[in-house]
A and B are shown apart, each in its own frame.
Chain A
Amino acid sequence: MAFVQNFPFFSIVLSMFAGTVSSVLPQKPAKYLNTAVICIVGTMSAVLLGFTLQTGESFTYMMGHFPAPWGNEIRAGVLEAAMALFFCIIMLLSLLGGRKKLLGEVEITKHNLYYILINLLLSSLLALIYTNDLFTAYVFVEINTISACGLIMIRENGRTIEAAVRYMIMSLLGSGLLLIGICMLYDLTGHLLMSNIREAVAQIVAEGTYSMPLLVTIALISVGLAIKSALFPFHSWLPDAYGYSTVSSAAILSSLVSKGYVFLLIKIFYRVIGFSIIRESKIIDVLFLFGLAGIIFGSLSAIKENDIRRMIAFSSVAQIGYIYMGIGLGTDVGMIASVFHIIAHAATKSLLFVAAIGLTDVSGGSRKFIDLTGAAYRNKVAGVAFTVGSLSMVGVPVFAGFISKFLFANAAVYNSGKMLPALVVLSISTILNAIYFMKTVIRIYTPAKTDYPCITWKQEKLYAVTMVLFMILNIILGMGSQPIVDLIQQGLSTFA
């Protein structure tokens, strides 16, 4: 066994350990430790990615060398490694972008607390990515929920507390459903390790027994994770949670946390139940429909919104809809599109959140559109970044969003039943996206006479660098998407 194969385990443990240590550290060291951990985990994931690409297949890693059913397994392949790497990049950039802002948002004494939560979140995300054990997955789902909740709440004002409570309730509902699903699965198969369940499920299906309970299980798990990832109509917690938490939290929550659950769902579909079985159950049709509804509804809500952060948050509802639509198409191409969109959306949405904060800062802290008039002139970097993000969201070529739009449309064509609704909704949603995003862009580029201060990139170098990196990332995804798509394809093929 190569040394590299230990990396997934190291990553998880390292970030957990860092979280624990942070509790006793003062603000600054905690900050640096956190950055360092993310960097290290990122590097390890990159190395792992290189390794898996070389071997071309995934491997399982038994913790403590205990075999199933007692042991706990980790499984890593191309896709997992790529995801881990990507999540690290986004997390790092989001934190860097919101770092200065954090000082104003969170009490200085609580900063180390903040970094604990971030570290825990990272570890749980990594665990969700790597684990090959359903129960472990459940445990980390909970850890994830709690740390996310903390991240929302840590900015102490009335709205965030309310949002956190709401988030908590919805999330726990989701977790509960997931737990019931897992229990039922355990009842049906007697296993918790994914690969074992897979075999058992295949057997059950072949025998034709327990078809109803299996369906219910699938439904429970899907709905549970859908609630947690804010699929329409389970999104009511989202706008407040994203809209009022600290900027880094919002960026991380919208681009990573919900995506972690989606990734888990995909994993369960492929690795636990088997995608062909999922396709036969009608559950993906339901997901497809909810996806479409979410796209339209999210966009419409965003259009009505008068607050830039909440607008971006509602946009997330629509984007999650895209992902579920791709899953709902029930083809491998659709799945590739969805996974790519997880990446593209994460890159874009965090960019937007961080850029939006730059704009609101130079508008007297107000997030109302009327005050944002001309903000792009006062903070040029943020203005450009926001424009790039918006264009990507609308799906203009060169940017990441275009590729995912293209992949979705392409995937839709291969499913003749769902082709037309998918394509039409895709087009309509492009128009709706254009309406609210470009309206904002025009707004921030309309000069206004205000006495708000201007911020140049020299004053906030870190912020500017982050924004530039974000934009480069977006354009890389948009222009050089082929390797990534290949990678996803390869990853998905070794997934099962």
Chain B
Amino acid sequence: MNPMMMLVVILLPILGGALVPVLPFQKRVYRNLYVEALVLLNSILVFALLWNRPIEALDVVRFTGNWTISLRVDGMSMVFGSLIAFLWPLATLYSFEYMKHEQREKTFFMFYTMTYGVTLGIALAEDMLTMYFFYELLTLVTLPLVLHTLTREAVLAARKYLYYSLGGAAFAFIGLIFTMVYGNTLNFTLGGVMNAAKIGDRTNILLLVYVFAFFGFGVKAAICPFNSWLPQAGVAPTPVTALLHAVAVVKAGAFSIIRLTFYCFGTEFLRGTWAQGVVMIATIFTIVYGCSRAVKETHIKRRLAYSTISNLSYILFGVTIMTPLGLTGALTHMVFHAFMKIGAFFCAGAIMYKTGRHYVHELDGLGRKMPKVFVIFTVSALALMGVPGLAGFISKWNLAQAAVESKHVLSYIGIGALLISALLTATYMLNIVVRAFFPKAGFDYETIADAEDPNWLMLLPLTVFALVIIVFGLHSAPVTAFLQEVAAGIY
């Protein structure tokens, strides 16, 4: 396919989204149709592009020197790009219904659609600079979404989000500079681009820079101690929290770290160094920390946000193992967690939308009134816990296998952390399920008489996610095989 297509799929949502507030839509429905058509069309284009991927790269803009904004499709792009392209139309569908009870829909859909393009930009970036460029843009374009409700809470959350993200990017920037100076090329190359001759005796400085950059990108992936923006950003409307703060934005952080570790610094250079130890300890700690906070949290969305923090570090843990198998595990969890968490978030959103309840202790008995939503929630909860037969088990399996194979003592501890986290996940997720389905004896169903399942706009995406979780859980071989090939650099 023509390489220009890569630019098209990025620009189409950005420009199309920017048009949303400008175009004179007579009715809400027309606008919704426009947005959905735009997003769907773009997704189709993305899939077409990824399946017939152009081999050559596309230089878009030339910055300074040899620095270019350039795009290219490789294996990683295919994984992240198709994930995004699959989720976006569904999430958009969901938000049509959800956003009814929020204001300023036009602004919302404008930025929501634009984010799509920017995220694809991260996926398709050919080199570190391009990725950094889209990474910064992502922060900016999602800011209005966090800010959406414009309450004081939202403003504080947005500020925090911004400071954390930009600050993180500033440290990631150091990594970028070093890659440029000490690497052979800026273009992502599996195995790393570092030039041993140029490095000489500066190994330790380079490792330090790696740690900086890891944590810098890690801010978006909510690694401890830079995680506190994520739960706070939960004030945004649910489609944002679900798609962006469980998938697009945070996974962009994880994706960048993968790029940094495997495609820039290179695992050869990093494996077995103190830097690997440092980042691995951080991920292990975050895995447990996120879950523990989730158990303590009573606000549904914030609880899920803490859960995301923990699960993102699963991905990062896979990355820090720094073996192809580890990367496979990380990628599997990146894909599967997306479905599980977005499913859980959308259920939470449906509950909030239908009943206006935000806290776990208010959910008693809702399982009978909203059976579909809660069944799907249960599915995603079980998947997150890692019950075999559902997607989460597979990704944890791959991660753990990578950890066992690496024979690194820390990674054994990491397996322990994964399992402790699974237990805590059971605690905070099943608590909700049990409440909803088995309210205390003598519970008065009259108090929730008006609760009901939402309409198809919300249920369709939810059903799709639940099916995906089950299908991948039962038969993941094609996906994992593909991810393995990606991790081995075949694409």
Using CB atoms and an 8 Å cutoff, list the residues of chain A in contact with chain B. 391, 394-398, 403, 405-407, 409-410, 412-414, 416, 419-420, 423, 426-428, 430-431, 434-435, 438-439, 442, 445-447, 479, 481-482, 485
Contact = CB atoms under 8 A, between A and B. Distances in A.
A416 B62 contact: no
What is the predominant secondary structure among interface residues of chain B facing chain A? helix
A403 B63 contact: yes
Contact of B167 (A391, A423, A431, A445): A431
Q: Which of B63, B64, B65, B140 neighbours the largest number of chain A CB atoms within 10 Å of its CB?
A: B64
B133 interface: yes
In this complex, which of B143, B147, B162, B180 has the most chain A Cβ atoms within 10 angstroms of its Cβ? Answer: B162
7 contacts: A419-B205, A420-B205, A431-B167, A434-B166, A438-B159, A442-B143, A482-B63
Interface of B: 61-65, 132-133, 136-137, 140, 143-144, 147, 150, 155, 158-159, 162-163, 166-167, 169-171, 173-174, 177-178, 180-181, 202, 205, 208-209, 212, 216
B155 A446 contact: yes
Given A397-B137, A419-B205, A405 B173 contact: yes
B64 A485 contact: yes
A427 B171 contact: yes
Nearest to A448: B150
B170 A396 contact: no
A416 B171 CA distance: 18
B173 A430 contact: yes
Contact of A442 (B62, B162, B208): B162
Nearest to A483: B64
Given A397-B133, A445-B147, A439 B159 contact: yes
A323 B205 CA distance: 25
Contact of B158 (A395, A396, A406, A442): A442
B174 A427 contact: yes
B132 A413 contact: no
A416 B166 contact: no
Contact of B177 (A423, A430, A435, A447): A423
A442 B159 contact: yes
A481 B64 contact: yes
Contacts of B140: 391, 396
A409 B158 CA distance: 28
A135 B144 CA distance: 55
B137 A409 contact: no
Given A420-B205, A427-B174, A445-B147, A410 B180 contact: yes
Given A396-B136, A397-B136, A427 B177 contact: no
Closest 7 CB pairs of A and B: A430-B170, A431-B167, A434-B166, A427-B170, A397-B133, A409-B177, A413-B181
Nearest to A431: B167
A438 B158 CA distance: 10
A176 B137 CA distance: 48
Contacts of A485: 64-65
A407 B63 CA distance: 12
Nearest to A426: B170
Contact of A481 (B63, B137, B150, B178): B63
B92 to A, nearest CB: 24
Given A407-B64, A413-B177, 8 more contacts: A396-B136, A397-B136, A406-B173, A434-B170, A442-B143, A445-B147, A446-B155, A481-B63
B177 A410 contact: yes
A409 B205 CA distance: 15
A482 B64 contact: yes
Contacts of A406: 64, 173, 177
Contacts of A419: 205
B442 to A, nearest CB: 47
A394 B150 contact: no
Contacts of A447: 150
A410 B170 CA distance: 13
B163 A409 contact: no
Contact of B63 (A427, A428, A434, A479): A479
A419 B209 CA distance: 11
A443 B125 CA distance: 33
B150 A434 contact: no
Nearest to A397: B133
B167 A427 contact: yes
A416 B173 contact: no
A323 to B, nearest CB: 18
A409 B170 CA distance: 11
Q: Most chain-B Cβ atoms within 10 A of its Cβ — which of A406, A426, A430?
A: A406
B147 A416 contact: no
A431 B170 contact: yes
Contacts of B181: 410, 413-414
Contacts of B180: 410
A482 B177 contact: no
Contacts of B216: 427
A482 B63 CA distance: 7
A446 B133 CA distance: 26
A230 to B, nearest CB: 24
A219 B171 CA distance: 34
